[in-house]
Amino acid sequence: MKQTKFLVGAATAAHQVEGNNKKSDYWAMEQLPGSNFSEPSLDAADHYHRYKEDLQLLADTGANAYRFSIEWARIEPQKGVYDETEIAHYREVLLTCHQLNLTPIVTLHHFTSPKWLITEGGWEAQTTIAYFRQYAQLIAERLGDLIPYVCTINEANMGKQIRKLIEGMQAAAQQAPEAATEEKTADLQIGLNELQANDERAIFNQGLADSFEIAPDKIQTFLAPRSEAGEAIIMACHQAAREAFKAIHPETQVGITFSLYDHQALPGAEALAEAGQQADFLDYLPYLEADDFLGVQNYTRKIHALPGQAVPEEPTRMTKMGYEFYPEALGNVLQAVAKQWHKPILVTENGVATDNDAERIEFMARAIEGVAQAKAAGVPVIGYCYWSLLDNFEWQLGYAQTFGLIAVDRKTQTRYPKESLAYLHQIVEKMQNS
């Protein structure tokens, strides 16, 4: 496929915007007593019914791309049972994209899974590889003629990042029990609450066991801490989906996305930054050799220091998610990735949670400047998708995190486009003329 225009658009994920994803594992977890979700997703932004309105607002800016996910739990609500109504729904979404000249960038799996998959062992079970291949093949057969870009799995490295965070918390608890609760899940590029107290966790785990009819320690959702065997299963799922799609639509560009930090080091801590880059990205390169592009997702940087090394005290702007406000991270990540990856790169997520839309526009302007600099330096970046199109359900943090270019009154589902949505037009002009 020949890339003719730089892709500029916005991204969403099905569970975070569609609403009523009742056959998924996350819907089940949100409803449980003792759940560490701040609130359930419920109707979300009702994008399931209002996607035409939302996509028109995006297209009106001059944007030419829309990244979204197809919800596996809707397509296959029971193992081996496919819902024709849902397949037809996503076909209509794809057709709408094409009618509005929005290039669809489709993600096959964005964190949520069919509830039945978890009862079968989830993302630590070898059987999931065949199940995911069958799902990818179905999408290719029924919808692939309308899909030019496929991201098989969103943030395939997130389970590893969660495991490392928990290991760090456990180590801190052993060294200084009174300080163990100070570890922050803001160190992850996803909306997770702090770990629950033991009594809350026990109630939640029992609810999980009852809901999934499986022992709590056997429940392996996509965002559970992942073993090395689970890492291999994730990447085998990616390869299986890629093969399935390419067998039917060889022209479709297939890739995967990763959560990537701008790893920086204070003097002497360079090896720590290199280890972070190795774990987040470089370890996965052998699995990506046949991919067509790489999806890069970045929100901030991570500064590495030696134990006891003082981090310079400077006034630091923070986002609502608790991240450092550092838009330059994206350009740095692109240049770092390009040292080892020489195929096309697509920025599949980059954004900021803030109630100040002027701050959002500033973030976008500074981030896209880094993209432009990387492109001018020869980095093969082909597109930029802001996260997210709509104020959405940010996982365990609920609806308080406002990333969107469009605000949503969830009582009436009325859309209120922000000035930052119109700013996409300037990004289009800047990147397509660069």
- Residue 264's contacts (CB-CB under 8 Å, 6 or more residues apart) are 273, 301, 302, 303, 304, 332
How many whole angstroms separate alpha carbon 169 and alpha carbon 249?
45
Q: Which residue has the tokens 């896209």?
A: 368
- Residue 236's contacts (CB-CB under 8 Å, 6 or more residues apart) are 129
Write the DSSP assignment of 60-128 as a string of letters: TTT--EEEEE--HHHH-SBTTB--HHHHHHHHHHHHHHHHTTPEEEEEEESS--BHHHHHTTGGG-THH
Report whether 97 contacts 64 (CB < 8 A): no
How many whole angstroms separate alpha carbon 339 and alpha carbon 327?
21
Report whether 330 contacts 337 (CB < 8 A): no
CA angle 380, 94, 28 (to 5 degrees): 100
Identified catalytic residue from 30, 71, 124, 155 = 155
The answer to whether residue 155 is catalytic is: yes
Amino acid identity of residue 21, one-letter, is N
Helix/strand/coil for 189: coil
How many whole angstroms separate alpha carbon 195 and alpha carbon 401?
19
Distances (CA, A) of 296 to 154, 246, 260, 371, 434: 10, 22, 7, 12, 20
Report whether 345 contacts 383 (CB < 8 A): no
How many whole angstroms separate alpha carbon 280 and alpha carbon 272?
12
What are residue 417's DSSP bridge partners? 406
Question: From the CB of residue 254, how many other CB atoms can be counted at a distance below 10 Å?
Answer: 25
Catalytic residues: 155
